[in-house]
Structure 1
Amino acid sequence: MAEHEETKGESLMEMITEKIHGGDSSSDSEDEKPSELKAKIYRLFGREKPVHHVFGGGKPADVLLWRNKKISAGALGVATAIWVLFELMEYHLLTLVCHGLILTLAIVFLWSNGTTFINKSPPRIPKVSMPEQPVLQFVSVLRLEINHALFVLREIAMGRDLKKFLAVIASLWVLSIVGSWCNFLTLFYIVFVFLHTVPVLYEKHEDKVDPLAEKLMIEIKKQYAVFDEKLLSKIPRGPLKDKKH
């Protein structure tokens, strides 16, 4: 009798432990659901990394996303000053360089010769030289980016992706129209200000922007599907040659 009660008590304890573990497993599944939902959230341009990683990380991304406000404000201020000098005041680059060198040489010359009248040693002018390694790194990165752009343009021109071809043509056409409105310096300044304002604003409000962008992309895909059905699908195309591996 006592053994029967002990076995009944053990079975009761096993049922309780199973319920507890079952509750834990259900809670674990409930915990997994939000993570799965987070993974399915639409992000602009299909990105999976934070905005800081999209811009390459490091100091350039810190400047664009205003991690260091003094450096970001300084860069934007310098760009604004250059644009005001060359665009609004119609200053020329060669004139600015010559005037800057004249002013610098005059100050250093007067400072060096003025110390002889006050019995002080002349100031030590440090040697200024351009470091080789950063210049080579910049040229190497620029070469890689240009080669990548040329490769992408070649792939688009081969006609393998009609959608990408039309997107590039439309982008170049819009850029040509914008270029007719302003010169290169103004366009460069607009892009510079755009890069220093839009990414940081998007990073702060990405939870509101991404749903709107998702709706916009769905609508664009619908319109493209209609355009493809009515026009693009009726354009005769030659057979594409297989790629040689």
Structure 2
Amino acid sequence: MEYHLLTLLCHTFILSIALIFLFSNAYTFIHKTPPHIPEVHLPEEPFLLVASALTLELNQALKLLRDIASGRNPKKFLMVIAASWVLSIVGSWCNFLILFYIAFILLHMVPVFYEKYEEKVDLFAEKAMVEIKKQYAVFNVKVLSKIPIGPLKTKKV
């Protein structure tokens, strides 16, 4: 259909506003009282709490990104680069809405499958972690240990 989500929401909003407008004006032509549209009033406190919590989370995420980008932890740096590369490949296959749908389905299916096949998954995960640690040790010796990492200089203001 190639009908995007934002376009659908906007068209639905336009249609509903137009229908309410038409019905309100139609009632005046037939000499009836227009329908009562209730006034919506949202409290301010929950929005402030959400904004405060989001600010704390964003600050922690920015601190983590700064630590990763500064080169203090090469393991995390390589994991972020690899994850971004994989996400860019997957993102080129389909649009964001499909990715969101797949993630939603997986978030509901994975715990059920894990409970059903817990022993097999744990055994496979242990073997995978041992192999990953071996490969990282080889990579660390051959590549990462040869990269000079100096102290982080701070700017004087």
Code of the aligned partner of 2:56: L
Task: Say which of 149, 154, 157 aligns to 2:61.
Answer: 149
Tell me how far apart the structure 1 counterparts of residues 27 and 56 of structure 2 sit (CA, whole Å). Answer: 46
| 2:148 counterpart of 1:237 | yes
Q: Deviations over 1:142-161 (max 9, x none)?
A: 22222111110101112111
Tell me how far apart the structure 2 counterparts of residues 194 and 137 of structure 1 sit (CA, whole Å). Answer: 30
Any runs of at least 4 consecutive aligned residues in structure 1 with deviations exceeding 6 A, and if so which?
110-113
Structure 1 residues 238 and 232, CA, compared in 2 at 3 Å: closer, same or farther? closer
| 2:127 counterpart of 1:209 | no
Q: Deviations over 1:7-42 (max 9, x none)?
A: xxxxxxxxxxxxxxxxxxxxxxxxxxxxxxxxxxxx
Tell me how far apart the structure 1 counterparts of residues 38 and 116 of structure 2 sit (CA, whole Å). Answer: 44
Tell me how far apart the structure 1 counterparts of residues 42 and 92 of structure 2 sit (CA, whole Å). Answer: 37
| 2:8 counterpart of 1:97 | no
Structure 1 residues 198 and 112, CA, compared in 2 at 3 Å: closer, same or farther? farther
Higher relative contact order (CA 8 A, sep 6+): 1
TM-score (structure 1 length as normaliser): 0.50
Q: Does structure 1 conserve the Cα–Cα contact (< 8 Å) formed by 2:24 and 2:35?
A: no
Percent identity between the two aligned chains: 52
Structure 1 residues 101 and 196, CA, compared in 2 at 3 Å: closer, same or farther? farther
Code of the aligned partner of 1:90: Y
| 2:136 counterpart of 1:220 | no
Q: Aligned-pair distance for 1:178?
A: 1.9
Gaps of 5+ in 1: 1-87
Q: Does structure 1 conserve the Cα–Cα contact (< 8 Å) formed by 2:114 and 2:121?
A: yes
Q: Which residue of 2 aligns with 1:180?
A: 92
Tell me how far apart the structure 2 counterparts of residues 204 and 111 of structure 1 sit (CA, whole Å). Answer: 60
SS at match of 1:160: coil
Q: Deviations over 1:43-88 (max 9, x none)?
A: xxxxxxxxxxxxxxxxxxxxxxxxxxxxxxxxxxxxxxxxxxxxx4
Tell me how far apart the structure 1 counterparts of residues 51 and 91 of structure 2 sit (CA, whole Å). Answer: 26
Structure showing greater radius of gyration is 1
Structure 1 residues 157 and 139, CA, compared in 2 at 3 Å: closer, same or farther? same
Code of the aligned partner of 1:101: I
Tell me how far apart the structure 1 counterparts of residues 77 and 64 of structure 2 sit (CA, whole Å). Answer: 10
Tell me how far apart the structure 2 counterparts of residues 199 and 107 of structure 1 sit (CA, whole Å). Answer: 49
Structure 1 residues 154 and 134, CA, compared in 2 at 3 Å: closer, same or farther? same
Task: Give the 5 Å matches for 1:117-156.
Answer: 125-156=37-68
Gaps of 5+ in 2: none
Q: How many residues in Structure 1 have an aligned counterpart in Structure 2? A: 149
Q: Aligned-pair distance for 1:173?
A: 1.4
Q: Which residue of 2 aligns with 1:190?
A: 102
CA-based RMSD of the aligned residues comes to: 3.2
Q: Aligned-pair distance for 1:123?
A: 6.2
Tell me how far apart the structure 1 counterparts of residues 24 and 61 of structure 2 sit (CA, whole Å). Answer: 48
Q: Which residue of 1 aligns with 2:73?
A: 161
